[in-house]
Amino acid sequence: MALPKHSDYLIIGAGIHGLSTAWRLADRLIERGENVEGRITVLDKSGIAAGASGIACGVVRNNYFQPAMRRLMKHSVGVWESDPLGLSYHPVGYMQISCETMREDVASIFQQQQEIGYESVFIEGENASTSYMRALFDDWQAKNITSVLHEKRGGYSNNTKSMYGIAKKAEDRGVRIITGVEVKGLSSESGSAAIASVETNRGTISCDKLIVAPGPWVRDFWKMLGLPGKITVKGLDGAKHDNIDMWRYWQLEEGVLRVPPESLMTNDGKVPPVIHVDTDAPLFSDVDGSLITDEMWGIYYKPDWHFGGVQGGASPYKVETPVDEVAIDPYGPSSPEFVASGEFAHMWVSALAHCHKRFEGTMPKYHREASGGIGCFTPDSFPVFDHFHGNATVIADSNHGWKMLGVGHLIADEVLGEPQELLEPFRFDRFEKGALHPVSNSPYPWS
């Protein structure tokens, strides 16, 4: 497809946020009785779902300690539920299974889920938690578990199938998706801060509104927009911290145990909820019995016919390479960070065996799958959704992206001039104001 000379609404990134925004923008224009053809364009340097969205594990949950995240996720789960078949979404639910250190935090999550009308069940106490889990899995054997939060909504979706489903919704409404277009720069007209045009490897395209949804490449577009790479952050305690990196990177390890997905069915033969376990029980190797860790650890997993086995991941770790030296293509197969370490496989499969007797001795069936990758995080590990220079919008999901399908819908409404209360807690100025999100005891940086 040829690059047009102009697009009223120009979106960079054909991932979950870019295509969700395009879908909603088109719907809103149609509702207004306006023409869509030629007015909304999505650009991507590779293709639909070529980056983070194409290798996401697909978990959809509302398990957040932060009230703003919980409200935002309720909205997004509703969007997933609007067309399960078209979005390749499986509403099987989600379980947060935790040790005593996290019980109070998880109890707070449950209470606030009830307040916003999000259906869930909370089980407390070690014996009660074990009984609840064994009613689902008769071989459940995880230790030090004192609470279970079972979200009845949520579940998982199939990454590429879901993305092509969203792309179809956008294209059916008249959106142009043009791939193989790499953005080289952003230009403003003299005397105005607004972005007038986007320079690409295939020419220049002007626009009225620009939406930037680049996933882990957000740092580079942040620079193009002339926004600061170092900022001041006011902590929850009121103390100011200067010269903080706006962006940092964490490696997310995921993989697949190549066993029949049916091997993780519940006692009554049903597909189980997505399972997430956080515990401080010592983790021992399922290979040789050696101690892997005596510190808090966490894993998540699910049976997945799309991946062809039991798929999931574990707590991420920081990428120590200086930010400016992180690969421009953090999801490329040549990136050393992309290659799974044997340490992850050892830990994750041993953790599965810690939880279920059925997974003991399955280490040889571990298979590295193209999922996980490097995530680009903000200073507080939560998203930034904001508008700059009068006509540019940045969607920086801080690696919360996949489950947040509804963010693009809210962004589209704001681009059309309707501020969205759900996005207010995620503005860029929260760092300077000290309006940060509360932090839980989870081992995950985004919880």
Q: What is the pLDDT of residues 126-177, one digit of tens each?
A: 999 999 999 999 999 999 999 999 999 999 999 899 999 999 999 999 999 9
Q: Where in the chain is the domain with CATH 3.30.9.10?
A: 94-152+248-377
Q: Could you tell me what percent of the chain has a pLDDT over 70?
A: 91
Q: What are phi and psi of 302, to 5 degrees?
A: -165, 155
- pLDDT score recorded for residue 126: 97
- pLDDT score recorded for residue 136: 98
- pLDDT score recorded for residue 344: 87
In this prediction the pTM is: 0.91
Q: Do 7 and 43 meet the contact criterion of CB atoms below 8 Å apart?
A: no
Beta strand pairing status for 317-318 and 248-257?
A: antiparallel
Token reading at 121: 């069940």
Q: Where in the chain is the domain with CATH 3.50.50.60?
A: 1-91+155-231+381-447
Q: What is the pLDDT of residues 22-66, one digit of tens each?
A: 999 999 999 999 999 999 999 999 999 888 887 788 899 998 888
- pLDDT score recorded for residue 173: 97
Q: Do 378 and 384 meet the contact criterion of CB atoms below 8 Å apart?
A: yes
Q: Which residues of the chain have pLDDT under 50?
A: 321-340
Q: Is CATH 3.40.50.9100 what the domain over 94-152+248-377 is classified as, yes or no?
A: no
Give the CATH number of domain 1-91+155-231+381-447. Answer: 3.50.50.60
The helix (H) or strand (E) run that includes residue 106 is helix 100-115
